[in-house]
Amino acid sequence: MADDVNGQKVSRWCLVSMASIPLVMTLGNSMLIPVLPIFEQKVGISSFQSSMIITSYSIAAIFLIPVAGYLSDRYGRKVVILPSLILALIGGIIAGFASWQLNNPFTWIMIGRVLQGIGAAGATPIILPLVGDLYKEDDEKTSSCLGIIETSNTFGKVLSPILGAAFAAFIWFLPFFSISFFSLISIILVFFFIKAPKNEEKPPKFKVFIKNTKKIFNQEGKWLYTVFLIGIYLMLILFGVLFFLSDIFEKTHDLYGIKKGFYLAVPLFGLCIASFVTGKLIKGELSVMKKVLLFSLFMTSSTVVFIGLVSDKLMWLLVITTLMGVAIGAILPTLDAMITEGIDKEERGTITSFYSSSRFIGVAIGPPGMSMVMQDYLNLSYFTAGGAGILLLILVIIMIKTENAKTNKESIA
């Protein structure tokens, strides 16, 4: 079966192939969170150093994602995606081999993680404009497909703690090699099943590209910067909380290995379900998107402030973090749809890459930030996060307008 959109056949296998990319890249990062305490013991590193295994991946992605977006607009989506997945594969092999064979593998683990981050920079953000290319002016199908893509991303987060703990229980460095294996599967799927539409127009020169990008931010900056800030905020909270849960589950609740992985997956499962449902419901309607943002930001802010207060009560901790996960899961496909449907095709790859880069900023800050505050300033950090969410809610009210708009692009602007 396939959707026929403006003459472009979008097969089920094409959707599966696109969804495999965020799944693999999410596994490449989130799968390591539950096994960071094991890395600390085996490699002889501190909690902050172990958090840098996550952060190094994200920092590399932050700076290179905009470059990948430009290259995808100029040379094609698939041309950028495939080499990036190959880099992710190589990075996993380097990190795994170093852990296996070297007495002091930390430096080579970091090198491997940086390569994986470069791979993530060139693969994950290109999916959003690719969906827009395939479905063109069909906003409803675009939103639905983006919901599937974001669900794949969040489903990867659900699987990650379970798979990571299971692999590490067998061989502690196996998660690194597994990332390479999953990347290989995605490479095969992308190569055979994604048929990106050809761009009939000649891409702009670099100077023109810079000028057009500045023009977009001048015209659309208010709502774009708001979306970027929300992306940073959500990923900072999510990865900071996951890092905290990985630590507190062992030290306070005596949860280890696969059992800990299943407990970590509980809030992420709520996030996954919310992403899928929201992608189906918003249907390209900005007024609906704005309501989802407002309610979900309020819910995120209202739940995050209680995490430190209930950290010694396992059931309440799971309830609060799951509600937070549901709220974040509702926001993510909404932000994807806003950008994909609100920006012209010619600049879509660039703008979505800036958005993806902003999300990686949150991922990079979350774990090391939490490692520094969770001993002495845990509750204060969560109260601050709740306040920041309310400020972002106010920004959404002010910056994203829906009144008397005929199209998404007009309404967002």
Is the pLDDT score of 406 beyond 50?
Answer: no
Out of 10-19, 120-129, 290-299, 309-318, which region has the weakest mean confidence (pLDDT)?
Answer: 120-129
Beta bridge partners of 4: 9
Single-letter amino acid, residue 109: I
Most confident of 58-67, 126-135, 260-269: 260-269
Out of 50-64, 74-88, 130-144, which region has the weakest mean confidence (pLDDT)?
Answer: 130-144
Specify the residue for token string 């015209």: 219
Residues 102-130 have a mean pLDDT of: 86
Find out whether 143 and 284 touch, Cβ atoms under 8 Å.
yes
Q: What is the pLDDT of residues 273-316, one digit of tens each?
A: 998 888 778 876 788 889 999 999 999 999 999 999 999 999 99
Specify the residue for token string 């290259």: 71
Find out whether 65 and 364 touch, Cβ atoms under 8 Å.
no
State residue 9 phi and psi, 5-degree precision: -75, 125
Residues 192-196 have a mean pLDDT of: 81
Quick one: pLDDT band at residue 199, thresholds 50, 70, 90?
low
List C-alpha distances in Å: 74 to 213, 342, 394.
Answer: 14, 20, 37
CA gap 181, 380 in Å, rounded: 41
DSSP 103: S
Straight-line distance from the first to the last Cα atom of the chain, in angstroms, rounded to the nearest whole number = 36
**What is the extent of the structural domain holding 163?**
2-412
The mean pLDDT value of the chain amounts to 84
pLDDT computed for residue 9 by the predictor: 57
pLDDT computed for residue 3 by the predictor: 52
Out of 26-35, 49-58, 343-352, 377-386, which region has the weakest mean confidence (pLDDT)?
Answer: 343-352
Torsion sign across C-alpha atoms 294, 295, 297, 298 = positive
- State the alpha helices, DSSP H only, in 171-256: 174-193, 206-251
Quick one: pLDDT band at residue 412, thresholds 50, 70, 90?
very low
Give the containing element (helix H, strand E) for 42.
Answer: none
Residue 109: alpha-carbon gap to chain centroid: 22
Residues 10-17 have a mean pLDDT of: 80
Find out whether 213 and 94 touch, Cβ atoms under 8 Å.
no
* 96-99-101 Cα angle (round to 5): 105
CA gap 354, 90 in Å, rounded: 25
**What token pair was written down for 85?**
């997945």
pLDDT computed for residue 309 by the predictor: 95
Quick one: pLDDT band at residue 409, thresholds 50, 70, 90?
very low
DSSP 125: G
Higher pLDDT, 111 or 155: 111
* 219-222-227 Cα angle (round to 5): 120
**What token pair was written down for 203?**
């891409």
Quick one: pLDDT band at residue 371, thresholds 50, 70, 90?
confident
In terms of C-beta density within 10 A (0-12 exposed, 13-18 middle, 19 or more buried), how is residue 4 classed?
Answer: exposed
pLDDT computed for residue 1 by the predictor: 42
Specify the residue for token string 């080499």: 83
For residue 390, the domain's CATH number is 1.20.1250.20
pLDDT computed for residue 47 by the predictor: 85
Out of 36-40, 292-296, 387-391, which region has the weakest mean confidence (pLDDT)?
Answer: 36-40
> Per the structure, how many domains does the chain have?
1
Q: What is the pLDDT of residues 313-344, one digit of tens each?
A: 999 999 999 999 999 999 998 998 888 777 77
Out of 133-137, 162-166, 240-244, 355-359, which region has the weakest mean confidence (pLDDT)?
Answer: 133-137
pLDDT computed for residue 202 by the predictor: 64
pTM: 0.79
Torsion sign across C-alpha atoms 363, 176, 157, 139 = positive
* 153-157-158 Cα angle (round to 5): 115
